[in-house]
Structures are given as C-alpha cells and as structure tokens.
Amino acid sequence: MRIHVADHPLVAHKLTTLRDQATASPTFRGLADELVTLLAYEATRDVRVDPVTVRTPVADAAGVRLASPKPLVVPILRAGLGMLDGMMRLLPTAEVGFLGMVRNEQTLQASTYAERLPEDLSGRQCYVLDPMLATGGTLAAAVRFLVDRGADDITAICLLTAPEGCARLEKALEGLGVPVTVVTAAMDERLDEKGYIVPGLGDAGDRLYGVVG
Ligand code: URA
C-alpha cells in the first residue's frame, strides 16, 4: 500500500479552515469540494490512458485519451458524498457507484448497508472517496468489496488519515495482490478513545450535513 500526503500550501490552507470548529456547513462543503479537486489531481496521476492522434489546424499531434473501461468513482455514504463533485470535476466521464457503510460507534466495526455498483469490475480502476481514514475498518471493507468484484487498481482519497488506521489498513490488505494507494491532505497524530482523528476535524458527515439524531 502506498500513502501519498499532498504537500501543497493550498491544500494546507483549505484543510486548516476545514478543521476550524467555527467553520459552518456551507463553507465546509465548499472547501471540502475544492480540497478534493486538488487531491484528485494527485490521485489520478496513474489514471489509464490510451495513445491517440488528433489533427490540429497545423499538423497531427500525438496525445492520450482516458482508457476504457472508464474509471469508477465510489463515494462511501454518507460523508463521501461531500467529495463526489470535487472528484467528478476532474473526471467527468467516470462512472459512479455507491457504497453505504456505517461504523458501529461501540465496536468500531464497519458494515455495508447499501450498494449500487456494477457486478463486474474486472480491469477497472476505482477511486474510493472516504473523508476520514480513522480506524481503517471502513476502507478495508470497501477495498475488499471492490476487489471481490474484480477491481484491479484502487486509489482512496481521504481528507485526513491517522497512523493507526493506515497501519491497520495495510495489514488488512496483506496478500491482496491489487495495488492500493491512499492520497490524503494530512497524516494526523493519532486516534482518541472514541476512534476520532486527533486533531482531526470532528465528524465529517456532521460537519458536511448536520447531526443525524
Ligand atoms: N469519522 C469522522 O467523521 N471523524 C473522525 O475523526 C473519525 C471517523
């Protein structure tokens, strides 16, 4: 597993405002969207392309086009939805599949409650959107799900990551045989006893969409 921390002053600037508890939901949603677009630029560095030649008004020019099958973008509901537009801005022709996963706040175990994905993902590059890589349980389950359907290259985009979650994810994916990359704006210090990232930004779903009772 490869972890890429995007080292860029604009990423750090937007992330700082996201962390601030005084940032209200409308601003939070806008900044998360912009931040994901910056992370998506890094995350798509190895997106598959085919060579093509086009005719300019002057001459032939060698170039590339996105390869088929097109990449699949998979936001993890609920909070991953807040990252979808920012990702699709860079990959407008990608397809989108949905995975609903929820973390039991007592056991911290992830379970799948909804799924809308192609049955056959053979040869597909998948981009998973999950804002917080905390314990790693949700992402590990999502990656397994996609690999079981045939995905052969997976990149997760996470606003924030915790060292414990990255270690757990790496262990959970041992022997998977499929390359997995995590692209993130920052690796934070640690998790607290409730599984929240410290210093983090709080509950990403609540910050985006408000508290569900
Ligand atoms: N999920 C969140 O939304 N925030 C955290 O800090 C950890 C998991």
User: What are the pLDDT digits (tens) for 9-65?
Assistant: 999 999 999 999 999 999 999 999 999 999 999 999 999 999 999 999 999 999 999
How remote is the CA of residue 2 from the centroid of ligand 1, in Å?
21
CB within 8 A of 146, min separation 6: which ones? Answer: 74, 117, 121, 126, 128, 154
Regarding the beta carbon of 197 and ligand 1, being less than 6 Å apart is answered: yes
How remote is the CA of residue 212 from the centroid of ligand 1, in Å?
14
The three-class DSSP label of residue 204 is: helix
Atom of ligand 1 nearest to the CA of 203: 3
Burial grade of 24 (CB within 10 A; 0-12, 13-18, 19 or more): exposed
pLDDT per 10-residue tile (average), the chain, 213 residues: 97 98 97 98 98 98 97 96 97 97 80 93 97 96 96 98 97 95 98 96 95 70
Please report the pLDDT score of residue 121 as a whole number. 97
Please report the pLDDT score of residue 213 as a whole number. 60
Residues in the chain: 213
The fold for domain 2-49+65-209 equals Rossmann fold (3.40.50)
How remote is the CA of residue 197 from the centroid of ligand 1, in Å?
6
Going by alpha carbons, the residue nearest to atom 7 of ligand 1 is 196
Regarding the beta carbon of 3 and ligand 1, being less than 6 Å apart is answered: no
How remote is the CA of residue 46 from the centroid of ligand 1, in Å?
28
**Domain positions in the chain:** 2-49+65-209
